[in-house]
Amino acid sequence: MNSGLIDEVSAILRNAAADVVLPRFQKLQAGQIEEKSPGEVVTIADREAEQIITPRLMSLLPGSRVVGEEATAETPALMDELDEGDVWLVDPIDGTANFVAGSPVFSVMVALLRRGETVAAWLLEPVSDRLAVASLGAGAFVDGIRLHTESSCPDVASSRGAVLTRFLPDALKKTVAANASRFSAILPGTRCSGVDYPAVATGKQNFVMFWRLLPWDHAPGALLLSEAGGWVARLDGSSYDPSDQRPGLLAAQNRDVWQTVRRKLLET
The pLDDT assigned to 1 comes to: 65
Contacts of 87 (CB under 8 A, 6+ apart): 64, 65, 66, 67, 112, 113, 114
Provide φ and ψ at 240, rounded to 5°. Answer: -80, 135
* Successive 10-residue mean pLDDT values, the chain, 268 residues: 88 98 95 89 97 97 96 94 96 97 98 97 98 97 96 92 95 96 95 97 97 97 98 96 95 97 94
Alpha helices in 146-254 (DSSP H): 170-179, 193-201, 215-228
Q: How far is CA 175 from the centre of its chain?
A: 25
Domain ranges for the chain? 3-146, 156-266
Domain 156-266 in CATH 3.40.190.80 = yes
249-252/207-210 β-pairing = antiparallel
The pLDDT assigned to 210 comes to: 98
Contact 88, 66 (CB under 8 A): yes
The pLDDT assigned to 36 comes to: 86
For 25, 197, 211, 216, 255, the CA distances from 19, given in Å and listed in that order, are: 11, 26, 33, 22, 40
Model-level pTM?
A: 0.96
Contact 183, 161 (CB under 8 A): yes
3-state helix vs strand vs coil in the chain, percent to 5: 40, 25, 35
Domain 3-146: CATH superfamily is: Fructose-1,6-Bisphosphatase, subunit A, domain 1 (3.30.540.10)
Contacts of 10 (CB under 8 A, 6+ apart): 122, 124, 131, 133
- Express each pLDDT in 128-138 by its tens digit: 999 999 999 99
The pLDDT assigned to 119 comes to: 98
Round to whole Å and give the CA distance between 230 and 219.
Answer: 14
Taking the CA atoms of the chain, what radius of gyration do you get in angstroms?
18
